[in-house]
Every structure is written in C-alpha cells, then in structure tokens.
Homo-oligomer: A and B are copies of this chain.
C-alpha cells in the first residue's frame, strides 16, 4: 500500500425528509445563494422545501446551471454573489450543479482571472465560500469530494479542478429526491459511478486489501441494483443504496494508497466537449476498449475483477479477462447505454479530433503508468469504433 492522507469532513445528512436539517448547519444570519439547474428543482417542490428550511435567512436564487456547467454561466453567479454580499452557497441538484457551485465558491474570493482556477486545476485556490448541497441525482460523488469539472464551449474545453477548500460543509442525501429523475439520468448515474470505481480499482496491485474489497463491494452493489434503478419504480431501499454507493465511489476512500488511472475520464471529457455526448456515455465508450488495450499492465487486477465482481472462475487468464470486459459492456448496454462511437454516429474523423484536443490540453501521458500517449488514446478509440 502506498502512503496517503485521508481527510473528508463533509457531513452527510442521509434519509427521507432530511432537507429541514440544513437549518442546523448554516449560520442563522447567513445571506444564502441557492444554485440549481433546470426548472425541475422548482417543479418537484425541492426548491420550496429548501427555502422553507432556510427560514428567515436572506435568500437569492441562481438557476440555469447546465449539465456540464459552463464557465460563463457560473461567472454570472459569481457576480451575483459578490454584488449581494452572499456568504453561504447552497447547491440543489446533481453533479453539474454541485461542481458548478464549487467553482463559484472558489471564484468569489479569487484574486485574478478565475479561468486560471481551471487551467491550473485548482492549485492556485487559497480560499472558498462555505457551501452545502442537496443532492437530487446520484452519480458523480461531488457531494462528498473536492472535485469539479467545468466546461467552456467557446474553447471546446472541459477542465477539472480540485481543492481541499471546496469540500461541501454538508450534503443532504434524500433518496426520494431521485423519484422524479428520467430513466436516462439514472442509467447515466449507474455507469458514472461504475467507472469512477474502475478508475481507482483496475490498475495494478499494491496489496491494498481494504480498498479492493470496498471497490468490489460497491461494484457488486451497482450490478445488483441497476435493474431496480432503471425500471423506474420508486423503490426506497434501492434508491438509498444507489445514492450511498455513488457517494463512496468517489470520495477519496477507495482511491487512498492505490494507483489511479482516470484516462477514461480524460478521453471522455474531450468527447463531451466536442460532440456533447452525456458524460457517462463517453465513459461507457472508452472504458471497455481501454481495458482491452491495457490488459497487459492491468492483467492482475482484471483477473481479480473477473473473479470477485463477476464470479468468473473458468477458463484461462485471457478468457477470464475478456469475459469480464464483455460482461462490463453488456452491463452498460443493458442500461441502454451504447458502448461504441458508431452508435453515436461518430467515425474515424472524430477519433482524430479527440486526439488533437487531448494534445492541446496536455493529456499526453495518461493513466496509472503515464503510458497512455495520444497514440495509445487513438488505438483505444479505434477499438471503440464499432461492435
């Protein structure tokens, strides 16, 4: 096991009817900016519930944060927060709203051009406004981590930053908030969480037994749950387990003391920035091909994955690895998430465009071994072209 620090001070308020609890964790005299995405936050009543919990505090609203939150939009929220002297932010939404709120929180006190927060990936962040979240879409784990991804469509750029200053102070995880989600977003959430775990688990062994067992437990839970999640019935326990799984898939625990990959995400980000494909769908396109392309260096963990996650015990090493990857693809497809570029009407020219953008963004040595050069990324995408 590698040396590591683990620190995660986000308070989780989990369960039905927990929105009211936010009152305890926001200063009574706070000037609160509530950030949200589309009108569903209002339509479902969650926005009203939040405002009721905020009681007599002065509340401002900022709606319209996009899926793949956009820099220009977020800068408008920064301006509003500055001009109204807001001192607490509250994100009501999924990963995009929370990621966007993290950027707003860091940008408000930032001296200099906030765009550099993204180009420098957060190392220049020295403070942030405190904020909490009310999670409505389980997927990204943003509710309990320090990561954020922001898009700038003008530059076809989707860039990540992280900073210990942007831990949410609290996050409300009420499983009933997922009841109104469309099937597509639920399926995306399952795949997003699955790939978060894979990025931290499918590398090379470092003898980290607890991290491995936890990663495997989360993957098995997702596989067991997925049919219940996407069939659209409001099964409280299924939604609760789904929510808790996505949180622990990316909050620092399973990645502590182990190598991490993240090449699937970096390649996927370029696909979203260029072709506006849902984040999770880009991951489903890239991951299986990346595992095949990198099977020599990932072999030991792929065998462990085959046995402990998919119960595959028959056949030689090659066969067991291939079966595990095929089962992973089939799992994504079972959720109506296509795994090939051609399914999205993209061909060879898209591969060259993605490779060019990876080079432009300095993504030239990706993966746990820093061996995924633009050439390797091209080969991965070529494997993803057609079924």
Give the interface of A toward B (CB within 8 A): 1-16, 18, 207-210, 213-214, 216-218, 220-221, 224-225, 237, 240-241, 244-245, 248, 256-257
Q: Which residue on B lies nearest to A208, using beta carbons? A: B241
Q: Which residue on B lies nearest to A9, using beta carbons? A: B9
Residue of A16, A207, A213 with highest tally of chain B CB at under 10 A: A213
Q: Which of B5, B7, B10, B248 contacts A210 (CB 8 A)?
A: B248
CB atoms of B6 and A12 under 8 A apart: yes
CB atoms of A14 and B9 under 8 A apart: no
Q: A213-B220, A216-B217 are in contact. Are A207 and B241 (CB under 8 A)?
A: yes
Could you say which residues of chain B place their CB within 8 Å of the CB of A214? 213-214, 217
Min distance, Cβ A155 to any Cβ of chain B, angstroms: 37
Min distance, Cβ A221 to any Cβ of chain B, angstroms: 5
Q: What's the Cα separation between A60 and B10 when bound, in Å?
A: 33
Q: Which residue on B lies nearest to A217, using beta carbons? A: B213
Q: Which residue on B lies nearest to A174, using beta carbons? A: B3
Q: What's the Cα separation between A14 and B258 when bound, in Å?
A: 12
Q: A216-B217, A256-B14 are in contact. Are A244 and B210 (CB under 8 A)?
A: yes
- Give the 7 A-B residue pairs with the shortest CB-CB distance, closest first: A3-B15, A213-B217, A9-B9, A207-B237, A6-B12, A7-B11, A209-B241
CB atoms of A4 and B14 under 8 A apart: yes
CB atoms of A11 and B15 under 8 A apart: no
Q: What's the Cα separation between A17 and B14 when bound, in Å?
A: 37
Q: What's the Cα separation between A296 and B252 when bound, in Å?
A: 39
CB atoms of B14 and A3 under 8 A apart: yes
Could you say which residues of chain B place their CB within 8 Å of the CB of A1? 14-15, 237, 240-241, 244
Q: What's the Cα separation between A259 and B209 when bound, in Å?
A: 26
Q: What's the Cα separation between A209 and B221 when bound, in Å?
A: 7
Contact sample, A vs B, 22 pairs, CB 8 Å cutoff: A1-B244, A2-B15, A3-B16, A3-B18, A7-B10, A7-B12, A8-B9, A9-B9, A14-B256, A15-B257, A207-B240, A209-B221, A209-B224, A209-B241, A210-B241, A210-B244, A210-B245, A213-B216, A214-B214, A214-B217, A240-B257, A244-B257
Could you say which residues of chain B place their CB within 8 Å of the CB of A12? 4-7
Q: What's the Cα separation between A209 and B207 when bound, in Å?
A: 25
Q: Which residue on B lies nearest to A245, using beta carbons? A: B210
Q: Which of B3, B4, B11 contacts A6 (CB 8 A)?
A: B11
